[in-house]
Amino acid sequence: MQQGGSPSPKKKEGASSSLSNKLNINEEYTNAFRTKSYIEMWSKAHTILKDQSSTIDPSSSSSSSPPFSGHLSEIFLDPRQETLKDLTKNFNFHHLLLLYFEASLEACNLCELLLQSINQTRYYNKRINNLTKRVIINHSKDHVDHAEYAIIFQELARFSRAKNPLSTANSSLFQHCHESNLVLLQRLTSKHKRIKRNSKLRSICKKIMSYSLIASHSALVITLIVIALHSLIGLAAAPLGLVICFVYLSSCEKKMKKTNKASLGLHVDMAAKGVFILMNDLDTISALVRRLHDEIEHRKTIGRMCVRYGRSEVLKEVVNEFYMSQTTFIEQLDELEKYVYLCFHNINRSRRLLVSEIVN
């Protein structure tokens, strides 16, 4: 009997297996971040975002949000929707596969919206940094500049009233995507199971048919041999009959192998795996967005409180909290951006593999 408190071998084995799975997943994500396609996508997007934000002056409070004009999903989506429409004219796409491509397009649009929100969040963060520096500079002066403090309070009030840039990518969007993708995953999984069952049933039927063919042709061969023993014509017909039997059975075997490939089953399975990966990516992104959204709301709350009191001592405390949380905030924002690009990368990889399998 085991001592209380010492884990059983099964529990140890389960914990070890769980840890191994987590390490494998982390390793897979790390490798994905290093791929050439991911790096190229990241560089191209940052170039576009940098060009669009180059005209923004972080010290200015005249504009409420940075301009963003562009359709990154159209640039990054591979293959593009136009290409898919052309392919559907020449290849027979199952309706569930078309639903998968639509779901991946919807996820790309959500990722694009998130990149816009991240871009705006960086802009607002620069304004906070600028505000923090102005408070520090004013505080270090021999004489407090009350006029400067009044401007700072006005800027803080504008920030506190501004819309949270991450509120556009709210939880309802992620919830809608999760629910629709879950339904699609269930349909794909159910379809794949039906295909497998039917494939097994066809395999059994074909084996029975092949055995029946062998038995019937064996009877034919025996008949031909019997005829051959009684006539010279039979002697010529028997080898010919054997050749016909061999050719016929060979053609049947080739057809059976071709049918057993179950290409539709493979396509449905690939689409189901793509949806599963997409759901995991979006769940991770949703959690990161929620964490950053709450942090921005917290900053806005203490900013409103500071403006309400209108005292320099309170302002110093608020600015100090902004400064202390700055490094963590930027790290979390970078992590969110990284996973958005990873979601783009995984979507494209799944789409390319599936289209390649259908076409080839």
Q: Distances from the Cα of 229 to the Cαs of 220, 234, 244, 297, in angstroms?
A: 14, 7, 20, 99
Residue of 131, 120, 103, 108 whose CA lies nearest to 318: 131
For residue 275 the two structure tokens come to 């949806």
For residue 291 the two structure tokens come to 């964490």
What's the rounded Cα separation, in Å, for the pair 128 and 134? 10
pLDDT attached to residue 80: 85
Distance of CA 347 to the CA centre of its chain: 5
Contact assessment for residue 138 and residue 149, using Cβ atoms and an 8 Å cutoff: yes
What's the rounded Cα separation, in Å, for the pair 169 and 53? 20
What's the rounded Cα separation, in Å, for the pair 178 and 68? 27
Contact assessment for residue 56 and residue 130, using Cβ atoms and an 8 Å cutoff: no
Helix or strand or coil: residue 203?
Answer: helix
Q: What does the CA dihedral 350, 355, 356, 360 come to, rounded to 10 degrees?
A: 150
Amino acid letter, 49: L
What's the whole-model pTM score? 0.71
| Backbone Cα Rg of the chain | 33
pLDDT attached to residue 217: 60
Express each pLDDT in 292-306 by its tens digit.
999 999 999 999 999
CA angle 248, 254, 260 (to 5 degrees): 135
What's the rounded Cα separation, in Å, for the pair 78 and 351? 7
pLDDT attached to residue 234: 46
What's the rounded Cα separation, in Å, for the pair 237 and 231? 10
10-residue mean pLDDT profile of the chain (360 residues): values are 48 50 51 61 64 48 44 76 86 91 93 91 90 82 75 90 87 90 95 82 65 63 63 50 48 47 83 95 94 94 91 88 92 94 91 90
Express each pLDDT in 144-186 by its tens digit.
677 888 888 999 999 999 999 998 877 788 999 999 999 999 9
